[in-house]
Amino acid sequence: MGIGRFDSLLLLSFGGPDGPDDVMPFLRNVTKGRGVPDERLAVVAEQYAVFGGKSPINGLNRDLLDSIEEELSDRGHDLPTF
């Protein structure tokens, strides 16, 4: 199968907070309209401390996209990635 029938690659993820100051706003946004009390969100926010106060998924996805771009380049494909 050739890659010629594709014009780009889009990698999507739900994402997460990028730093400690982003954790509570992220959690409030994700739980908006569900009536989750700030006390519960604070308990969940503490779990991000294990990862340096951020979500590991963002870095993992950046690494994945870098690997995909490298592999495409190694195979001679000039495919934009987003």
Q: Is the pLDDT of residue 1 over 70?
A: no
- The residue extents of the domains of the chain are 1-16+57-82, 18-54
Provide the β-strand partners of residue 81: 9
Q: Could you say which DSSP state residue 9 is in?
A: B
Please list, in sequence order, all residues whose beta carbon lies within 8 angstroms of the beta carbon of residue 41, skipping any fewer than 6 positions away: 24, 27, 28, 31
Residue 59 to residues 3, 64, 65, 71, 75, Cα–Cα distance (Å)? 27, 9, 10, 18, 24
Please list, in sequence order, all residues whose beta carbon lies within 8 angstroms of the beta carbon of residue 72, skipping any fewer than 6 positions away: 3, 9, 78, 79, 81
Tens digit of pLDDT for each residue in 50-77? Answer: 999 999 999 999 999 999 999 999 999 9
pLDDT band at 5 (very low <50, low <70, confident <90, very high): confident
Please state the pTM of the whole predicted model: 0.75
